[in-house]
Each structure stands twice: as C-alpha cells, then as structure tokens.
C-alpha cells in the first residue's frame, strides 16, 4: 500500500536521481532481511541510479556492514555506506585543531572510525585540556563513564553526539539506543550536545554530495518519523516512510514533519517507483 501527501510525490519518486536508505528497520531488522530490499537495489543498479546507506548506528564500520549485508544477500560497497561515526569524524576534523584530545563513550568501532586518518588523540581518561567528549551507543555504559564525560564537559570539553535515537529496532523488539545515554550525559553535565546524525541533515547532505547530486534530487527512505523523515525534510529531500521499523501509521498525524510518501515496505515502494500496480 502507498499513500502520498502531495500530488507530485510519486512522480518525484520516479524521477529521483539518487536514493538514501536508512538501514535498521528499512533494509533489515537484526539479522533478518526485510521484504523488497534486493529487488529495489537491483532496480536502481539496472537503471544506473546511485544510492547511499546512511545509518545513525555508530557500532559498526562500513566494512563490517558490507559483510553483514552480504550474509543477507545484499551486495554493496563500503563507499556506499555512511555511518554517524564516519560523519562525526568529518565534523571533528573540520572543527577541532590537530592534536586535540577526545574522550569517547561508545563501542570500539566508533573509535576506529573516529580516529581513522585523524590528527586527533584518543584519551582513555579525560584530561584537563580534553577538547571533546564524543558519545555513541555503548552497551557497556557505566556510571564511571557517565561521571568522566560529565566532568569533562563541565570543564569545557565540547559535547558531541553521533545520534540521539532513543531506541534501536532488533529481532527481539525495541532496545535502548544512543539517545538514552546522551540524555543521561546531558542531565549530568547540564549541557546539550551537537548532534551529527539524524534528525540533523548532516549525514544526508554528505550522502548526496558523495553521489554528486543536489539533495533536492534525492529521496530519503526511513522507518522513523523523528529522525529519518525529519532529517530528509531538513535536507530538502523527498521523504518516504516504510512501516517496517519503529514508526507506525498511528504515529504519522502527530509527527513534526509529515512524510511525502508512506509505504508498507520496500516492495510497495518498488512498485510505485517502477509504475507497477501497488
């Protein structure tokens, strides 16, 4: 089933020059492929239409995502994947002087991506001149990390969040996301973070740039109204919500920004894109 909130939305979908996909809840849930993924990607490749996979997840590198997707029969390349961690690296490199000390709260892949080809220094314990505290989802989060991060921010370190997703869709249901940890640190430090991932448009604008396209020529496909759809609207992209992840049909009327299109899944989106009966 497809629903459009504008008369030209489906036409814009069919004329899109580039696609940006969220991953969790759109391409897969846990380790289970969601319907229509391979067929849609094949349709894009046959037509020579580029795509990017933009995720708020900071716990995996592009290379590990390639391996994960391959196990589900989805073939892609590392350069087609942009994580909130790699986008954060770009932001940090652009905004902090070389040699800056950074304290990281997150899983090892966050640090791997953050400090790859980086002029900055990772510190295991915040020092008086720590320049930034970068936080992502950390399944080993502790009070000690909360205390260290909060004290560093109170002492003047920048507070940078890869994303603020409150939950993460998995095969067992919704589990706490990075946003739950970011909120704890914001409460403890009395400061609000600079957010790199969705709902900010940064990763989507970077994705469009990687495809050599204007954001207005791209469509953002996501499962969350409060991150994917809001970020797509802020970036100036056509937005398509798929109901295979977090947001439900009943959430739509109360959304800050309405999606341009709503699909039950990627199979329905593919049918609308190719002009086949939905």
Q: Which residues are catalytic?
A: 22, 24
DSSP string of 238-274? EEEEETTSS--GGGGGG-SS--SEEESSHHHHHHHHH
Tokens of 32: 């289970």
Which of 12, 9, 22 is CA-nearest to residue 51? Answer: 22
| Contacts (Cβ under 8 Å, ≥6 apart) of 9 | 238, 260, 261
For residue 66, report the phi and psi dihedrals to the nearest 5 degrees.
-60, -45
Helix ranges (H only) for the chain are 9-15, 37-46, 62-71, 84-95, 108-114, 143-154, 178-189, 202-210, 230-235, 266-274
Task: Give the span between the Cα atoms of 249 and 272, in whole angstroms.
Answer: 19
């Amino acid at each position: 089933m497809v629903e459009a909130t504008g008369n030209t939305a489906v036409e814009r979908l069919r004329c899109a020059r580039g696609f940006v996909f969220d991953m969790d809840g759109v391409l897969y849930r846990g380790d289970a492929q969601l319907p229509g993924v391979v067929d849609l990607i094949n349709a894009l490749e046959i037509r020579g239409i580029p795509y990017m996979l933009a995720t708020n997840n900071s716990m995996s590198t592009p290379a590990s995502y390639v391996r994960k997707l391959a196990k589900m029969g989805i073939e892609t390349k590392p350069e087609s994947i942009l994580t909130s961690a790699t986008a954060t690296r770009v932001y940090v490199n652009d905004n902090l002087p070389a040699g800056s000390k950074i304290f990281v709260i997150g899983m090892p892949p966050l640090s791997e991506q953050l400090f790859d080809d980086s002029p900055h220094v990772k510190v295991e314990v915040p020092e008086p001149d720590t320049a930034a505290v970068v936080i992502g989802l950390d399944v080993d989060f502790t009070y000690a990390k909360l205390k260290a991060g909060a004290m560093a921010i109170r002492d003047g370190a920048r507070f940078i969040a890869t994303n603020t997703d409150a939950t993460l869709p998995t095969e067992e249901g919704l589990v706490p996301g990075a946003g739950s940890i970011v909120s704890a640190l914001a409460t403890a430090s009395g400061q609000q973070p600079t957010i790199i991932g969705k709902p900010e448009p940064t990763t989507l604008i970077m994705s469009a740039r990687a495809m050599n396209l204007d954001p207005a020529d791209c469509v953002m496909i996501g499962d969350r109204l409060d991150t994917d759809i809001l970020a797509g609207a802020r970036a100036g992209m056509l937005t398509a919500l798929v109901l295979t992840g977090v947001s439900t049909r009943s959430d739509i009327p109360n959304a800050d920004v309405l999606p341009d299109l709503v699909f039950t899944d990627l199979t329905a989106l593919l049918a609308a894109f190719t002009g086949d009966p939905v």
